Structure 1
Amino acid sequence: MMPTEIVRTHGYAPEDLAYALETRHAVENRLRHMLEGEGSDIPGNLIAAMEHALIAPSKRVRPVLLYLIAEPDAGAQESVLDLCCAVEMVHTASLILDDLPCMDDAMMRRERPTTHVAFGQSTAILSAIALLTRAFGIIAEIKAPPAIRTRLVSVLAKSIGHKGLVAGQEIDLNGRAHLTDETDVERLNWLKTGIFFVSCAEMGAIFRGMTSNQLGLIRTFAKHLGLAFQTADDLLDGTDDPNRIGKDVHKDDGKATIVSLYGERRARMTCLEHIEAARQALRSSGVRHLPIEALIDRYLTSKIAFDGK
């Protein structure tokens, strides 16, 4: 499916994609600002490792979704960008830990050597801890009512803790042998990827002051989008070139995934079904959906569109 066909099918215009990409650029600039001038007390090696992982080339899908859902006015833009930086720091920290030799033992991430390869395991672990703690500090300092800040911290903490990303990583490392069907794999995909997508989208909705019904639709949208992203990642792991996608491939060989259990064709269809369900919920939520749909098509749909194989 060519980009022009996607635009014609889903109705967004070039300016919608441009707006989403401008948002990504604003997030990138804010991330650099967050790590600049941190003070002479920080060891140079540590701040270099943080920058190596955080400022590396990335789609920034999670923080951009947060921003597009929050859709702040001029007075709130800085606070929302700070919130975007917080979730990107959490995501980056999770990648640093995921790549460690005791976990996935990856050599490449975001088009460059993984943080432990470039700086050593101890500094990589410390940089992940530093990014995590910095993220929560940022949320505590944003300009928002205390009740809103508390909700934001609670949502983020739950998504990355023992009932979220950490649980998903433990199952991925030590529980894959017990996964026997699509339900099991989708549960793992929810913990590994979906739950953090939901928390990022929900944080944008909370900042915006959405109703409980709108929040429910946003959660549904982000859940399906996260599951689609994980299935697409599993497809790329088995078929793509590491130099093109910027990270190691074949890390899931021998593991239970939708691809390994049911084949590439079924995985592509599952992914596209999740994308369609995400679109329907998004369009019903009341947010400005076209820039988000343009972002999805750029980074997801066009990469896994069914090719008949």
Structure 2
Amino acid sequence: MTSSNASLDLNSSRSGDIADAISVRSAVEHRLEQLVTDLPGVPPNLQQAVRHALLGESKRVRPVLLYLIAEPKPWEQGAVLDAGCAVEMVHTASLILDDLPCMDDAQLRRQRPTTHIAFGQSTAILAAIALLTKAFGIIAGLDGIAEAKRLRLSALLSDAVGWEGLVAGQEIDVNGRDSLIGVTEVEELNWLKTGVLFVAAAEMGAILSGMDDDRVEAVKRFARHFGVAFQTADDILDISASQGELGKDVQKDGSKATLVSLFGASKAQLSCQEHLARADQALVESGVNADPLRELMQRLFKMPKASLP
């Protein structure tokens, strides 16, 4: 097995204001807790399953990304935070489904048993549906956001989830991996499974901030490269990190085609570094305050040179 020291830092923390990634993550955690507490009329078992899946330990990268790109004024912070929570609900729903026995058959997620292990497959599927529908309800009701903008955000998130986004990526992952033979095909899958929701979160932040089209396009390029790098790093960790370190199952990819399995950890790390460099270039072009986003990337990605096979 190829060894690697690549890692995603799960536990960094420091104090800072609301423009700092750590403080945004803390605000997201607090708001998510509020959104799934004391829900009248929701069956207790379903509510517990939703909380189990949503509130487990997580980096919350997507809502943090949305918030930092939006750079909201004080009176906009609540709506932007809620938009980020909606994206996190979509992401969590995708994880519940990805972990099912008919998909990856995973046992551990976010430092706890997967939702179907803890609550059964039927309740897990219902929890995923509940999170998806709640996410769009949150977008529809964003306080102080014009209707036209809310409709645009909803359509954007719908496209990211649907048959040209996360759903397409999952179908290829389950039934089309054998046809992936090159870097382009694998990175397209990485885009669908991970990058597409990164881009949606970033573009939603750009829309909420009122950016012009050129800046929005730069933000999308940034997030696409960031997302593909993130998935590549995750593939490296699948062979190099322990279950305890990641809080989820490892070596689940088996013989699946990834950059690591096809070309080795060294080439995968090089690809990751190239995408991060392109992400940084697009970040500069976007005109967004780059410092907190660069800090986020530096904290998430630790990519020393891999040992050769």
The answer (yes or no) to whether the contact 2:16–2:22 under 8 Å persists in 1 is no
* Aligned position for 1:125: 125
Q: Deviation at 1:258?
A: 0.5
Q: Deviation at 1:306?
A: 2.3
Higher relative contact order, chain-length normalized (CA < 8 Å, sep 6+)? 2
The answer (yes or no) to whether the contact 2:67–2:80 under 8 Å persists in 1 is yes
Q: 1:89 and 2:122 equivalent?
A: no
Q: Deviation at 1:99?
A: 0.1
User: Aligned partners of 2:159, 2:110: CA distance in 1, in Å?
Assistant: 26
Q: 1:80 and 2:110 equivalent?
A: no
Aligned length: 295
The answer (yes or no) to whether the contact 1:235–1:264 under 8 Å persists in 2 is yes
* Aligned position for 2:59: 59
Q: CA RMSD in A?
A: 1.7
The answer (yes or no) to whether the contact 1:228–1:275 under 8 Å persists in 2 is yes
* Aligned position for 2:224: 223
Unpaired runs of at least 5, structure 2 = 1-13
* Aligned position for 2:267: 266
* Aligned position for 1:251: 252
Greater than 4 Å deviation, 4+ residue runs: 13-18
Name the SS for the 2:84 alignment partner.
helix
User: Aligned partners of 1:14, 1:308: CA distance in 2, in Å?
Assistant: 35
Q: Structure 2 length as normaliser, TM-score?
A: 0.93
Higher share of residues assigned helix: 1
Unpaired runs of at least 5, structure 1 = 1-12
Q: Deviation at 1:131?
A: 0.3
* Aligned position for 1:201: 202
Q: Deviation at 1:305?
A: 2.9
* Aligned position for 2:305: 306
Q: Structure 1 length as normaliser, TM-score?
A: 0.93
* Aligned position for 2:184: 183
User: Aligned partners of 2:77, 2:259: CA distance in 1, in Å?
Assistant: 39
Q: Deviation at 1:56?
A: 0.4
Per-residue CA deviation, residues 170-207 of structure 1 (Å, 9 max, x unaligned), is 00000011111111101111111111110000000000
The answer (yes or no) to whether the contact 1:17–1:294 under 8 Å persists in 2 is no
* Aligned position for 2:46: 46
The answer (yes or no) to whether the contact 1:16–1:290 under 8 Å persists in 2 is no
Per-residue CA deviation, residues 223-258 of structure 1 (Å, 9 max, x unaligned), is 000000110010011111011111001111101110
How does 1:270-285 map onto structure 2 within 5 Å? 270-285=271-286
Q: Deviation at 1:17?
A: 11
User: Aligned partners of 2:76, 2:290: CA distance in 1, in Å?
Assistant: 20
The answer (yes or no) to whether the contact 1:86–1:134 under 8 Å persists in 2 is yes
Q: Which amino acid aligns with 2:178?
A: A
